């Protein structure tokens, strides 16, 4: 994730950061112009009846989140979401059908999902039979008995105008909230970290629960619906355009994206053969900025992290200035900084750190952002002709201020989600570990971890124990100081 932040205590540091061209925060507020909304009413296609054959690959060790315990329910293990979504811009109306296959992890007389009550439920069945339910805010409780390790199919028909949900942070780019967003031109984009998928579909909205996804998206032509994974079909009929998308690898709900708008794709390929698609606004081709660098960025990262872990890569540009590593289809604001090469490298790094290997709990956001920030720093240092130690020296001042304001990277203030403390501190930590163990050992570590844990979730204890086993070093104090300390630990390089 990269996003712009603004707090009173951090403003000066971030201004200097923006002017230096470093880091992860957007400073440009320009927006890509949009075409006028089309007319016509869209209705969803029937959800598919087929589910992937390998649902066992989506089985997860679910848990209650330690930072945001009200999001998600560990008694549900989502295996496959089939989402059929129809967007009518003229009325800002979503009409949808969802088919969710899930495994119960406990015996109970009910189960619970996250689903915003701004949307009206027209029907709800479990295994083909009507089920009663109760709702309050985002909590949807379905009164249907379940047994541990049995699988069930929920089919939900619903409609309405989705609304963003308040975000647990003071960052200025979260002021619009999380989840589903509607622009002034009636286009749609979605970003939802740490939660917010429940603003547009019923989800188990906690990162430990990964599932397969299929999407069927309908909107009046010439607009297009875009989602994660492979575009498997496009059909134009009666003034409507329907696209279908399939995500081959399980994903956490915060890594899912959907957008509706007037887009034109540009097709590229990395030297290693990864297909890349840039979805830019049709009436503003220049809005794509430097996103065409994505193929070269994949090649650069593969030198350090191994083969790109998915089959496709895409970038979706939207009318804003934030960015998110949504799996296989990165969501970027159409601004010069958000579409810069450094940000493309950052979001691509997340496909190894965050997407294929995902933290099981939001206390470990640093596992995603620290490595993405460090690889971005390596790329920037190479691009600028300086050493990585010099780059870390230039970032150290921002780390101290952000740690003081938002807390340690591994124990941050829950109301200051995604502040600079989870980026800069862990990036500095990885550089210190590199200096401690040497380049050969360090780069083997960062390459082997995502390869050995592909399509899995992991927690802090598992990750750090794995590093200790590989290095043969006892590193408890080292990691505790960097992740849980109130102040920045002493560094072997710089100040």
Per DSSP, what are the bridge partners of residue 217? 85, 243
Is the pLDDT at 29 greater than 50, yes or no? no
> How far, in whole angstroms, is CA 117 from its chain's centroid?
23
Per this entry, what is the length of the chain? 495
Per-residue model confidence (pLDDT) at position 38: 67
Alpha-carbon span 86 to 239, nearest angstrom: 13
What would the pLDDT profile of 319-346 be if each residue is shown by its tens digit? 888 899 999 999 999 999 999 999 999 9
pLDDT at 421 > cutoff 90:
yes
Model pLDDT, residue 39: 61
Helix (H) or strand (E) holding 457: strand 456-458
- Mean pLDDT rounded to a whole number for the chain: 91
Percent of the chain beyond pLDDT 90? 85
What CA–CA distance (Å, rounded) separates 213 from 237?
A: 24
Q: In this structure, what token pair is assigned to residue 24?
A: 């992860």
pLDDT digits (tens, 9 = 90+) for 426-455: 999 999 999 999 999 999 999 999 999 999
Instruction: Give the integer Cα–Cα distance in Å for 109 and 379.
Output: 53
Q: What is the pLDDT of residues 198-220, one digit of tens each?
A: 999 999 999 999 999 999 999 99
DSSP string, 278-328: EEEETT-GGGGTTGGGHHHHHHHHHHHH-S-SSS-EEEEEESSS-EE--TT
Check residue 404 and give its pLDDT.
95
User: Is 36's pLDDT higher than 80?
Assistant: no
> How far is it, in rounded angstroms, from Cα 436 to Cα 454?
27
Average pLDDT over residues 379-406: 95
Q: Residue 438: which residues within 8 A CB-CB, separation 6 or more?
A: none
d(CA 74, CA 67): 14
- Name the helix (H) or strand (E) containing 402: helix 388-406
Banded model confidence at residue 51, pLDDT cuts 50, 70, 90: confident
Model confidence band, residue 106 (pLDDT cutoffs 50, 70, 90) = very high
Q: How many CA atoms lie within 13 A of 443 on its CB side?
A: 11
pTM of the model: 0.92
Residue 11 has pLDDT above 60, yes or no: no
Give the torsion sign (CA, 135, 136, 140, 142): negative
Rounded Cα distance between 477 and 340, Å, is 37
Residue 100, helix vs strand vs coil: strand
Residue 481 half-sphere exposure, CB side, CA atoms within 13 Å?
13
What single DSSP character describes residue 223? -
pLDDT at residue 96 above 70?
yes
Closest listed residue to residue 252, CA positions, set 1, 29, 17, 39: 1
DSSP 188-199: EEEE-SSS-GGG
Choose between 54 and 109: higher pLDDT: 109
- Quote the pLDDT of residue 2: 59
Q: Which residues pair with 156 in a beta bridge?
A: 98, 124
Q: Which H or E element spans position 247?
A: strand 240-252
Cα–Cα distances in angstroms (integers) from residue 75 to residues 127, 128, 209, in the given order: 18, 21, 11
The pLDDT tens digits of the residues spanning 226-248 come to 999 999 999 999 999 999 999 99
Q: What is the pLDDT of residue 192?
A: 95
- By CB neighbour count within 10 A (0-12 exposed, 13-18 middle, 19+ buried), where does 301 fall? buried
The terminus-to-terminus CA distance of the chain in angstroms comes to: 28
What's the pLDDT score for residue 274?
98
Rounded mean pLDDT, 347-351: 98
Query: Residue 4's pLDDT band (boundaries 50, 70, 90)?
Result: very low
171 has pLDDT over 80: yes
Nearest-angstrom CA–CA distance, 361 and 163:
25
Collect all residues with Cβ–Cβ distance below 8 Å to 72 and sequence separation of at least 6: 62, 64, 65, 114, 195, 204, 205, 206, 208, 209
């Amino acid at each position: 994730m990269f996003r712009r932040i603004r707090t009173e205590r951090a403003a000066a540091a971030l201004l200097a950061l923006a002017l230096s061209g470093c880091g992860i925060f957007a400073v440009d507020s320009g927006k890509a112009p949009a075409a006028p909304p089309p007319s016509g009413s869209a209705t969803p296609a029937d959800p598919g009846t087929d589910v992937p054959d390998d649902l066992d690959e989506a089985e997860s060790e679910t848990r209650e989140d330690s930072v945001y315990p009200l999001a998600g329910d560990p008694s549900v293990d989502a295996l496959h979401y089939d989402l059929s979504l129809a967007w009518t811009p003229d009325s800002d109306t979503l009409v949808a059908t969802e088919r969710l296959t899930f495994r119960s992890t406990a015996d109970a007389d009910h189960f619970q999902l996250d689903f915003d009550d701004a949307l009206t439920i027209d029907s709800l069945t479990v295994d083909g039979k009507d089920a009663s339910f109760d709702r309050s805010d985002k909590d949807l409780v379905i009164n249907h008995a379940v047994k541990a390790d049995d699988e069930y199919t929920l089919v939900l028909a619903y409609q309405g105008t989705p609304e963003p949900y308040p975000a647990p942070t003071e960052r200025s780019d979260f002021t619009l909230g999380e989840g589903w967003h509607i622009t002034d031109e009636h286009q749609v984009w979605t970003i939802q970290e740490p939660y917010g998928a429940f603003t547009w579909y019923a989800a188990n909205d906690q990162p430990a629960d990964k599932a397969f996804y299929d999407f069927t998206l309908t909107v009046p032509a010439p607009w297009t619906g875009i989602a994660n994974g492979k575009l498997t079909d496009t059909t134009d009929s009666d003034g409507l355009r329907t696209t279908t998308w399939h995500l081959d690898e399980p994903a956490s709900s915060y890594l899912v994206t959907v957008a509706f708008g007037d887009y034109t794709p540009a097709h590229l390929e990395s030297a290693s053969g990864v297909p890349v698609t840039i979805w830019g606004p049709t009436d503003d081709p220049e809005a794509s900025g430097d996103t065409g660098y994505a193929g070269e960025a994949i090649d650069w990262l593969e030198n350090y992290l191994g083969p790109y872990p998915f089959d496709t890569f895409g970038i979706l540009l939207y009318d804003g200035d934030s960015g998110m590593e949504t799996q296989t289809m990165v969501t970027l604001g159409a601004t010069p900084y958000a579409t810069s090469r450094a940000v493309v490298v950052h979001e691509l790094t997340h496909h190894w750190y965050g997407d294929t290997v995902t933290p099981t709990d939001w206390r470990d956001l640093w596992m995603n952002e620290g490595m993405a920030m460090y690889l971005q720093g390596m790329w920037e240092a190479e691009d600028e002709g300086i050493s990585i130690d010099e780059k870390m020296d230039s970032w150290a001042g921002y780390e101290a201020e952000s740690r003081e304001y938002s807390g340690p990277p591994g124990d941050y203030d829950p109301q200051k989600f995604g502040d600079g403390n989870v980026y800069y501190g862990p990036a500095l930590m990885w550089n210190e570990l590199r200096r401690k163990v040497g380049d050969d050992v360090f780069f083997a570590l960062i390459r082997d971890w995502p390869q050995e844990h592909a399509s899995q979730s992991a927690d802090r204890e598992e990750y750090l124990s794995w590093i200790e086993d590989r290095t043969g070093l006892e590193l408890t104090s080292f990691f505790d100081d960097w992740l849980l300390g109130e102040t920045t630990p002493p560094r072997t390089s710089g100040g």
